[in-house]
Structure 1
């Protein structure tokens, strides 16, 4: 469990449900728990089903320096034949990637909502890993929820469902 998630859980436990910030904190905690669950399922699947001649090293929840800040990496696979950043999304809905404008939207329950763009997050993480490791790095977006469907995919990175990940 990462420090941010642990801090969210402690604050949610201690903060009164009548506090004006509790609703916002509870929503953020729910999203963080969903993300952690998707990352955990992805890691378990890779350890169980990834069929490579040599076992990869899989690092989780990394924060790498990038430009003026940091890039967050859900999973980093290090193998003698390749290096790959895995950006895990455990979200529901229909997904629309707009690679030209670097935007991402999802439609859920008839509403269209803008969200952080997984393709931009992944690109930042790939570039940070390439800078540190000084080798080419691949990237993939993994949809951990079976309740998600890509309507319009990204141009620069593949998007796969969790069940298909070991086969790419």
Structure 2
């Protein structure tokens, strides 16, 4: 059962409004594109979660704070025995995983991306601390979900918490 639905962020709403009224600077247009693409991927993932038939609670797009650190969770699925944290990525194109650096890289572009594993570990750690601050101890299983069917990850490691679109 979905308890909290997803909404567009204030930043995305502002960019949509500005984009309709003016020509955005290149860096703003890129930021807008990334925000929109991320939101679209999260909405796609929400449709997948709507099909889950289990006794669970689903919370989307949470903004939480622990130890003066704010963190965002794309989706949380809570069952009686585990909390599942999902970091949703709508990456498109060919990427490869470099085991030496524990990092993903676009195959054709020389662009640095924020490592989704680092994002996931940070969110996982802060969520554990938040739950413990309330005296709660639940197993947490955290996963990066790549939802775009046009995404390929070469050299994908078997021991990393990745769910690929295929």
TM-score normalised by structure 1 residue count: 0.79
1:38 paired to 2:41: yes
1:64 paired to 2:64: yes
Which residue in the other structure is 1:166 paired with? none
Which residue in the other structure is 2:80 paired with? 80
| SS of residue matched to 2:118 | helix
Structure 1 runs of 4+ aligned residues shifted over 4 Å read: none
Mind listing any 5+ residue stretches in structure 2 that lack a counterpart? 1-7, 133-137
Mind listing any 5+ residue stretches in structure 1 that lack a counterpart? 164-168
Once the 2 structures are TM-superposed, how far is the Cα of residue 100 of structure 1 from its aligned partner? 5.2
Deviations 1:39-68 (A, max 9, x none): 0110111111x232x1x2111111222455
- Pairing partner for 1:145 from 145, 148, 152: 148
Contact 1:12/1:22, CA 8 A, preserved across alignment: no
Which residue in the other structure is 1:122 paired with? 120
Deviations 1:10-58 (A, max 9, x none): 23334x32xxx5222122111111111110110111111x232x1x211
Once the 2 structures are TM-superposed, how far is the Cα of residue 125 of structure 1 from its aligned partner? 1.0
| SS of residue matched to 2:26 | helix
| SS of residue matched to 1:115 | coil
Which residue in the other structure is 1:6 paired with? 13
Contact 1:103/1:114, CA 8 A, preserved across alignment: no
Contact 2:93/2:152, CA 8 A, preserved across alignment: yes
Once the 2 structures are TM-superposed, how far is the Cα of residue 78 of structure 1 from its aligned partner? 1.3
- Pairing partner for 1:51 from 50, 53, 56: 53
Aligned residues: 154
* Partners of 1:84 and 1:116 in 2: CA distance: 21
Once the 2 structures are TM-superposed, how far is the Cα of residue 83 of structure 1 from its aligned partner? 0.3
